[in-house]
Amino acid sequence: MNRSVIYFLLLFVASVSSVSAQTPYYQGKTVTITAAAKPGDVYDLYPRLIAEFMAKHIPGNPNIIVQNVAGAAGLIGTNQVYNIAKPDGLTLGAIYPALYFEQLAKRPEAKFDWSKFIWIGSPVSSKSLMYMRADAPYKTIEDIRTASSPPKCGATGVTSSAYYMPKLMEDAFGTKFDIVSGYVAGSDIDLAVERGEVVCRLLPSLPFSRVSRL
């Protein structure tokens, strides 16, 4: 199943057309990409890669920086982009695409209107995979389906694939998972697996980005 891992959301206003045609709007300015992940986390890699080459494709060649706002599977960073960033075309947000689940569920923590974000583009696609500790007693899908104690899998939040993909597996295959959410980033889940706090994690096999604007 192809899923994106992160979106780019550009806070945009039409008023930029009022700027003199002789002077590019972005000349001498700084564009900030708000990455809703920890520095060095897999979901932080694509914003930094794109930022390295983006400026030369924008008239005015602006400076581009990446700001990390991690937590709640991208919810904190998305709220910041939507509610704090000025609508001047100088802020982008690299966030998780499934955050619309938060709005659909009418969670009070979701302080944004997903319908106002506009998709721009996608540089790469990915598939999902799940890994499990080798010393865990679950070797097959049938082991998970019939286990008296379901395997514990780590997740950042309900909008991450680490949460909703196991839930889809439960509906499709009759498996059961004990999803432990609340980790800040995927690297924290990996450490939790090493410590034995959880035994599994679902993640994209290759990072995927989408570019969207408001």
Selection from 21, 115, 8, 19 nearest residue 54 by Cα: 8
Matching CATH number, 128-204, of 3.30.70.580, 3.40.50.150, 3.40.190.10, 2.40.10.120:
3.40.190.10
Q: What percent of the chain has pLDDT over 90?
A: 43
Dihedral sign for Cα 129, 132, 134, 136, please.
negative
pLDDT tens digits, one per residue of 12-42: 444 444 445 578 999 999 999 998 888 887 7
Judged by DSSP in three states, 7 sits in strand
> What pLDDT sits at residue 205?
65
User: H helices then E strands: how many in the chain?
Assistant: 6, 10
Cα 134 from chain centre: 28
- Domain spans of the chain? 6-126+207-213, 128-204
Task: Round the average pLDDT of the chain to a whole number and report it.
Answer: 82
pLDDT tens digits, one per residue of 148-197: 999 999 998 887 888 888 999 999 999 999 999 989 888 899 999 999 99
- Record the pTM: 0.67
Please name the residue ranges forming H helices in the chain: 42-54, 75-83, 100-104, 141-146, 161-173, 186-195
pLDDT tens digits, one per residue of 102-156: 888 888 998 999 888 767 656 567 778 899 999 999 999 999 999 999 999 999 8
> What pLDDT sits at residue 62?
96
d(CA 50, CA 47) in angstroms, rounded, equals 5
d(CA 129, CA 99) in angstroms, rounded, equals 20
The CATH class that applies to domain 6-126+207-213 reads alpha beta
